[in-house]
Structure 1
Amino acid sequence: MKIKHLTQLLAASLLMLSAGALAQSADLKNFPKGATPEEIGKRVADHFVATPHTNFGRPVPPKVITYPETCTWYGALTFAKETKNDALRQELVKRFEPLFGSRDTLIPVPDHVDYTVFGSVPLELYLQTKDVRYLTLGKGIADKQWGPPEGKRVKPESHTFYNKGYTWQTRLWIDDMFMITAVQSQAYRATGNRAYIDKAANEMILYLDSLQKPNGLFYHAPDAPFFWGRGNGWMAAGMSELLRSVPKDNPNRPRIMKAYQAMMASLLKYQAEDGMWHQLIDDPKSWKETSCTGMFTFAMITGVKNGWLDAKTYGPAARKAWLTLITYLDENSDIRDVCEGTNMKNDHQYYLDRKRLTGDLHGQAPLLWCATALLRK
């Protein structure tokens, strides 16, 4: 009996050591069955395809495509590309086709960053299908962001930014640095016209100078001095998307890279033991939040894959985050503990009290981005 007991203890100890070693691994290619990016990405993408247009969880359908749906759609398309899943791509094309006809009113008017980001979807569809209808639509949306101010949402300061060479949609919320860079990076990828990516890089510098703090993180806005998780996630993902495409001779690239690396170093310090990040990054008592964790994981994976980050340092952090993040998926491929849509507010408790949603597209999208990033060469 003693021998049997000792054998069991030895086996358990070896299992714990093995699990610990697995968590510390820098390997971003090989994952256990059920945790591979191919499996997780397909689950989440298939679930998205089967889901009708959503309106931030409200029971009524949206009047236009919302930005969380745009981000998830874009993620599903990039995942289909990396996995060469033609069937998935066709389902995503099929989802778009009514927007050229009877449901064209669902296309957002590009008079705000949250609406303009929609252009990244038709531009990705163009890149994959070469259907010029997508290029015409997506390019028109991207161009509108740099055109003269117009529409109901125009504020007096919009003209000031525009006259200084920035987009009139500038509002200095960190969310914008994904919304703007995503569509402009896509326009550059689709057309090869450097004006798109160069303007986006210049815009990024404005936000870095205005919002990044000495610790590398970002306030939600100048008058909201809190390191909100998903807000910082938008910035991390936005810098990653921009750096993937901004030419090496762009004079703003070194400054953006420095800011990105400073942010990643800070995030490494604030990562929880299990790999997650918190609703307020620097408040360990705040709840662990999945959308920001997904965005930070995407940014780190992208950095390691492109050689911007040290693989031995950031590889284990990204791997641990991915393996823990996917445990928040339920049997319906809905991720839980997603912060609800959040406006800017100068109130610490406001961020702590945000509802935790399940299946919200703010959380579904980063899972697809991560799966795509893990599969990229």
Structure 2
Amino acid sequence: MMIKPIVSLCLWLFCIAAHAQKDALQNFPDGYQPEQVGKKLAYRFVAGKHMLHAGKWISYPETFNWTGALKFAARSGDQQLIKLLEDKFDPLFNREKQLLPPMNHVDLNMFGTLPLEFFLTTQNKKYLELGLPYADSQWQVPENATAKEKEWASKGYSWQTRLWIDDMYMITILQTQAYRVTKEQKYLDRAAAEMVLYLDELQRPNGLFYHAPDVPFYWARGNGWMAAGVTELLRYLPENHQHRPRILQGYQLMMESLRKYQTAEGMWNQLIDEADAWAETSGSAMFTYAFITGVKNGWLDEKAYAPAARKAWIALVSYINDNGDVREVCVGTNKKNDKQYYYDRPRHVGDYHGQSPYLWCVLALME
């Protein structure tokens, strides 16, 4: 006589649980809604100063922040913001032309992603003409290339290959952007082959990545670049692409490990596997972006990862101050085989390394 009520109760609880999983990445409380956070961060960028590489050229952190703000403006239909971002860019065609980065380093080439995004937003060909050479030059070997750079190129890889995990955002995102504007398969093929190389050479059995082969530490933002890069590539890589199974496997292995190391607060530490390291926002935001996108595209189990992504987002927003600046951002960090070096890295407020991946999370949540 009690079977039907029990079955009904179980079905009700199941439906409640299923709804809770789907609801995890929406219906955020006031102040945590992605549209609110995105607007705050995007307009904060408009008012900000240039963050220059070596004091000379537009840096990759600024490039990614600018691109994120532009994507948010387009996604939210904010024409005023698009105009403000264009006005900020226009001097680079004339009086600030000297700030355009040269096409001679993996970090500097990243600038190309920004004009390509402006082209996607405005369809103005001046942006395409400026941006596409940055992608093409990653595979055009310069005359003064080193023997190692020529060796990488002879194997079909970018001459800018270094086997630093940072590269797997820097190379992947630019080639993917070039594919988005041209629809030429060669750009995706380049990015995918490069990603497989880095996965095969650098991914550890636990799914994470050392900062470099000779630096055996799981630095958060370094791993964040890889997490964001592989996520971005999977968004555009066709289901039948020869490298997709390997890339998806590497992505899922990394995500599984990251979920285990997520702190009780919802963040990840400066050194991911060190419980006494400080919570670092830029890497945490990159991992959160990878979680959100994976859940929404069906690459990750919704039941396991949607609550983790929500928890991370709620934690991340608490690190934004009243000015729209993200706190606890590790400064730009070269590799060093010294664990204490990573513990002692200065922490900045409003550093574009942190502002950018927050906008990626915003965009992923808005999809």
Q: Displaced runs of 4+ in structure 1, greater than 3 A?
A: 22-26
Structural RMSD (CA): 1.5
Q: Provide Cα deviations, 1:251-302, integer angstroms capped at 9, x if missing partner.
A: 0011000000000000000000110000000111111100000000001111
Residue-by-residue CA offset, 1:175-213 (whole Å, 9 max, x unaligned): 000011111100000000010011110000111111100
Q: Does 1:119 align with 2:112?
A: yes
Pairwise CA distance, 1:86: 1.2
Residue 23 of structure 1, CA deviation: 10
- In structure 1, the residue matched to 2:348 is 357
- What corresponds to 2:85 in structure 1? 92
* 1:23-38 paired onto structure 2 within 5 Å: 27-38=24-35
TM-score (normalizing by structure 2): 0.93
Contact 1:297/1:370 (8 A) holds in 2: yes
Instruction: Give the match for residue 214 of structure 2.
Output: 223
Residue 55 of structure 1: aligned partner: 52
Aligned-residue offset at 1:310: 1.1
Q: Any idea what SS the aligned residue of 1:309 has? A: coil
1:189 to 177, 180, 183: 180
Which residue does the alignment assign to 1:318? Answer: 309
Q: Which residue does the alignment assign to 1:250?
A: 241
> 2:260, 2:20 → 1: CA distance?
17
Say yes or no: does 1:305 pair with 2:307.
Answer: no
Residue identity opposite 1:54 in structure 2: M
Shift of 1:156: 2.7
Query: How far is the alpha carbon of 1:55 from its aligned partner?
Result: 3.4
Residues 69-110 of structure 1: per-residue CA shift (max 9 Å, x gap): 011111111111211111111111111111111211111011
Paired residue secondary structure (2:263): coil
2:73 counterpart of 1:80: yes
Whole-Å separation in 2 of the counterparts to 1:214 and 1:162: 28
Q: Which amino acid aligns with 1:99?
A: L
Query: Aligned residue for 1:272?
Result: 263
The Cα of 1:37 is off from its aligned counterpart by 0.4
Question: 1:6 maps to which residue?
Answer: none
Please, which runs of 5 or more residues in structure 2 have no aligned partner? 1-18
Give ranges in structure 1 of 5+ residues lacking alignment.
Answer: 1-21
Equivalent position to 1:174, from 149, 165, 172? 165
Q: What is the alpha-carbon distance in structure 2 between the residues aligned to residue 334 and residue 156 of structure 1? A: 43
The answer to whether structure 1 residue 147 and structure 2 residue 169 are counterparts is no
Aligned length: 349
Give a deviation string over 1:314-346, Cα, whole Å, max 9, x none.
000110000010101111111111001100111
**Identical columns (%):** 56
Question: Which amino acid in 1 is paired with 2:297?
Answer: N
Question: Are the equivalent residues in 2 in contact too, given 1:270–1:277 (CA < 8 A)?
Answer: yes
**Greater mean alpha carbon deviation, residues 182-191 or residues 78-87:** 78-87
Relative contact order higher in (CA < 8 Å, ≥ 6 apart):
1
> What is the 5 A alignment of 1:39-50?
39-50=36-47
* Structure 1 residue matching 2:246: 3-state secondary structure: helix
Q: Hey, what's the Cα distance between the residues in 1 that align with 2:20 and 2:322?
A: 24
What is the rounded CA distance, in whole Å, between the counterparts of 2:143 and 2:20 in structure 1? 51
CA–CA separation in structure 2 for the residues paired with 1:75 and 1:207: 25
Residue 137 of structure 1 corresponds to 130
Question: Which moves more between the two structures, 40-49 or 241-250?
Answer: 241-250
Query: Structure 1 31/150 Cα, relative in aligned 2: closer, same or farther at 3 Å?
Result: farther
